[in-house]
Amino acid sequence: MSFRKANLGLSIVTAVSLGLQFAPAFALANANQVADAIYKARILAAGAAIKVKVQADKASVSTYRNDRATDRDCKIEALLVGKTLFDANFGLTNVTVYFFNNKSPSEYKVVSIRTGDVKGFDSGQVSQDELLSSIEIKVGKVQDLATAIESRMMLSAAARLDVQTVENGDELEVSCKMPALSEEEYKLEAYRIADTALKFLGNGAATKRVKVIFFDPFERGKYRQVLISLNNLSTIEKQMEVAFGPLQLTSGVAKIAAKDIDPAQGVLLEQRREVLEKIAGLEAKGVGVAPFIQVYQTIEDQVGTANETALAQDLNRLKNGLEEQEKRYESAKTFTPTKDKEDEQPPPETAATTHSGGGHHKKVASRSGVTRWALEYFPLLEDQIVRDPVNYLRDCKKRFEDQIKKKAEQDARYPVALMWFAEVLKSNNRADEARQYEDQARILAAQIRPAVKKQ
């Protein structure tokens, strides 16, 4: 774990009594802010890995404990973590610290610290021994697989810290701090380090082997060592190719449902929840809401950084778009459509026939929010795209800009529309033309997202 003997040399009376002379104004905390505050306070051992979760006024902090740390040591560290976060005025009233066992990540000890614990000590109502005695430490065991995996990954994240290198003839020595792991994990980390070092040095380097030394961050002078030669690396790489070859790596885009989104704490929270409920309502009716979710997530990304007025305007535009979609949905329920020629499914023998002058076109299936309704205000018709994509896009763009009162390139929905153009063209055997729309969409998407955050 992240336990340092030096911390215990510090009087708990002094440590807990230390307050921030100029405390910041109250602010809702997020996990990153909490983690930064803990790291900056240097309570835990250098390089200690932590995982933070924040929910309302409660925070949980997970880390690893030194095998030699006593229950009293864990209480003191939890108390110092709690004091640090309470002093930061994050609005937290309870901090729970989980100390995992680095030899068995499914086991942990847990200590909860409340604001009352710290206030009682600060006011002199309780002594140091009384405070520590009143704080309860419990032993637990991880009950679900996901948490067990997370704890193991958290431990691995602490590897390769404070790296130093020394070249000695044909041998490169690399030393770093690393917590206690299994022998297999030490060897795997040593391989990664050696492989990285030799690739950096290049083929012309004199280095023939790499000595990797892992120092124990909790016990001075104690280390583990792995020596890897070029032949070792070559053999390992071949064995890995054989072992990993049968494994297939695929990629995709997960569909996000409105019910899976949790609004960030911050300004306009109630208004954002209201808009999210509208999206969820449409989603429950079977209406495609992927474009709305994309816009909503862009707004969520701005919370805490964007001007509140600008954020409210974006939120209002999205709300208006949702209300329009609700009207269209209600209208569609009472409308009996007549079959339009352009919507007829072409017969099998002509379905695959298409040409730039128009004519028959293939129906295109929507995917991951890329639909004919990408711009929300009006559909992007497949037959028009096939007939004349350049001029039709120009007309759609102007019509869209008339609605949003700004350049289409500044709106996150426009790249999605470009991807729809590309999908239609690809489905009609015009991949070369589709590529330019895909490229333009990716460039705009990369530009729009950072630009939004700077508002």
pLDDT, position 161: 57
Pair 317, 427 in one domain: no
Is 95 exposed, middle or buried, given 0-12, 13-18 or 19+ CB atoms closer than 10 A?
buried
For residues 28 and 266, the answer to whether their CB atoms sit within 8 Å is: yes
Residue 250 inside a domain? The answer is: no
Pair 358, 305 in one domain: no
pLDDT tops 50 at residue 19: no
Pair 148, 16 in one domain: yes
Pair 262, 321 in one domain: yes
For residues 273 and 258, the answer to whether their CB atoms sit within 8 Å is: no
Helix (H) or strand (E) holding 315: helix 308-334
Pair 112, 207 in one domain: no
Residue 74 inside a domain? The answer is: yes
Residue 123 inside a domain? The answer is: yes
Pair 227, 292 in one domain: no
For residues 19 and 87, the answer to whether their CB atoms sit within 8 Å is: yes
Residue 340 inside a domain? The answer is: no
Q: What is the pLDDT of residues 230-244, one digit of tens each?
A: 999 999 999 998 998
- Integer Cα distance of 450 and 455 in angstroms: 10
Residue 353 C-alpha from the chain's centroid: 44
Pair 219, 168 in one domain: yes
When pLDDT is cut at 50, 70 and 90, the band that residue 351 belongs to is very low
Domain extent, residue 238, equals 161-243
Q: What is the pLDDT of residues 70-125, one digit of tens each?
A: 889 889 889 999 999 998 888 889 999 998 877 676 788 999 999 888 887 777 77
Q: What is the DSSP letter of 253?
A: -
- Integer Cα distance of 115 and 128 in angstroms: 16
pLDDT, position 454: 39
Q: State the chain's mean pLDDT as an integer.
A: 78
Pair 178, 67 in one domain: no
For residues 441 and 415, the answer to whether their CB atoms sit within 8 Å is: yes
Higher pLDDT, 12 or 361: 361
Q: Taking the CA atoms of the chain, what radius of gyration do you get in angstroms? A: 29
Higher pLDDT, 226 or 19: 226
- Integer Cα distance of 157 and 189 in angstroms: 11
Pair 229, 275 in one domain: no
For 304, residues 6+ apart whose C-beta sits below 8 A from its C-beta are: 30, 264, 266, 267
pLDDT tops 80 at residue 131: yes
Pair 266, 135 in one domain: no
pLDDT, position 94: 92
Residue 252 inside a domain? The answer is: no
Q: What is the pLDDT of residues 136-153, one digit of tens each?
A: 999 988 877 667 766 666
Q: What is the pLDDT of residues 152-189, one digit of tens each?
A: 666 655 554 567 888 888 999 988 877 667 788 889 88
Q: What is the DSSP letter of 409?
A: G
Q: Where are the alpha helices (DSSP H) in 55-182?
A: 71-87, 115-122, 128-134, 145-156
Q: Structural domain tally of the chain?
A: 4
Structure tokens at 73: 């040591």
Pair 429, 352 in one domain: yes
Residue 17 inside a domain? The answer is: yes
Pair 275, 236 in one domain: no
Does pTM surpass 0.85? Answer: no
Query: What SS3 state is found at 119?
Result: helix
Looking at 96, 131, 154, the residue that finishes a domain is 154
Looking at 100, 124, 154, the residue that finishes a domain is 154
Looking at 116, 139, 154, the residue that finishes a domain is 154
When pLDDT is cut at 50, 70 and 90, the band that residue 359 belongs to is very low
Residue 227 C-alpha from the chain's centroid: 36
